């Protein structure tokens, strides 16, 4: 009997907690200034290996700010520490950090700064044009953006999440080493979670 009461209590408590902490899954985030939550944001990339498979990796240290305002000025800046590259293979990561590819000693930061943020008719973020600085070169890049969700978090804050994707050519950023073995096209996905300030 006691077990049944305990079970019912915990089931109800879990349900209440789940409801109270579930973010509002609205795709349109509230306008305002946001800071990228480094703990819940990641940058993933994939590149062809020998033309027969895709190799995936990520950058673990990401920071940045976002200003959302469909009726006015919107902007995004993302800073990625190149030294945080992680492909789940220590030796390969050392090679990627070397002058053969990222040359992290000389170019410790990869940066994206928006120049034009576009919304659709429903005020949903759809794409961001901007400049990507990587390996000492700055090139125009367009991020295709898909809103994931937005709403209150359990700590009283407000968060918004986006998936942003783009494809760059590493040769455009003067990374030409081993073009045959390592593909030129690099697909990049930013899984962004930002906290409203």
Partner 1 sequence: METLMQIILPSAILPLLVSFLLWRFSLKNSFLLWSLPLIWLPSYFWLIGWPSLVPAEASHWLWLLLIASMIINLIFESRLLLITVLQTTLLSFILIGVSWPVFQYQIDLKLIIEMLVIIVVAYIIFNGTVKNNVSTPALLLAICFAGMGLVIVLGGSLLIGQLAGAMASVLAVFACWEMISKQQPLINALKLVPVVQLYLVILVIARIFVEIPLATFILLSLAPLANLITTIRYALILSITSVIAAISWLLLSVDVTSYY
Residues of this chain that interact with partner 1 (CB under 8 A) are 50, 89-92, 94-95, 97-100, 103, 105-108, 136, 174, 176-178, 180-181
Q: Give min distance, CB of 135 to partner 1, in A.
A: 9
CB-wise, 66 or 110, nearer to partner 1? 110
Specify the 3-state DSSP secondary structure of 39.
Answer: helix
Q: Give min distance, CB of 49 to partner 1, in A.
A: 10
CB 164 within 8 A of CB 144: yes
CB-wise, 119 or 177, nearer to partner 1? 177
CB-wise, 8 or 98, nearer to partner 1? 98
Angle at 23 between CA 56 and CA 20, to 5 degrees: 135
Q: Give min distance, CB of 35 to partner 1, in A.
A: 24
Residue 44's CB: how many other CB atoms inside 10 A? 15
CB-wise, 7 or 137, nearer to partner 1? 137
**Rounded Cα gap, residues 124 and 127, in angstroms:** 9
Q: Give min distance, CB of 86 to partner 1, in A.
A: 15
CB 111 within 8 A of CB 133: yes
Kindly state the tokens that stand for 135. Answer: 């390996």
């Amino acid at each position: 009997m006691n077990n049944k009461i305990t079970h019912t209590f915990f089931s109800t408590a879990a349900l209440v907690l789940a409801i109270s902490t579930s973010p509002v899954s609205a795709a349109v985030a509230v306008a305002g200034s946001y800071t990228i939550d480094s703990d819940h944001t990641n940058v993933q990339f994939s590149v062809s290996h020998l033309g027969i498979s895709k190799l995936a990796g990520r950058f673990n240290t990401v920071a940045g700010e976002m200003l959302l305002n469909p009726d006015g000025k919107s902007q995004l800046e993302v800073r990625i520490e190149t030294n945080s590259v992680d492909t789940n293979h220590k030796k390969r990561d050392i090679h990627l950090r070397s002058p053969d590819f990222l040359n992290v000693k000389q170019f410790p930061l990869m940066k994206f700064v928006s120049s034009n943020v576009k919304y659709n008719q429903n005020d949903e973020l759809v794409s961001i044009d901007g400049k990507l600085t990587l390996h000492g070169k700055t090139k125009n890049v367009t991020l295709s953006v898909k809103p994931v969700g937005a709403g209150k978090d359990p700590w009283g804050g407000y968060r918004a999440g986006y998936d942003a994707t783009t494809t760059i050519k590493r040769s455009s950023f003067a990374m030409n080493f081993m073009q045959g073995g390592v593909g030129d096209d690099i697909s990049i996905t930013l899984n962004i979670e930002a906290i409203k300030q």
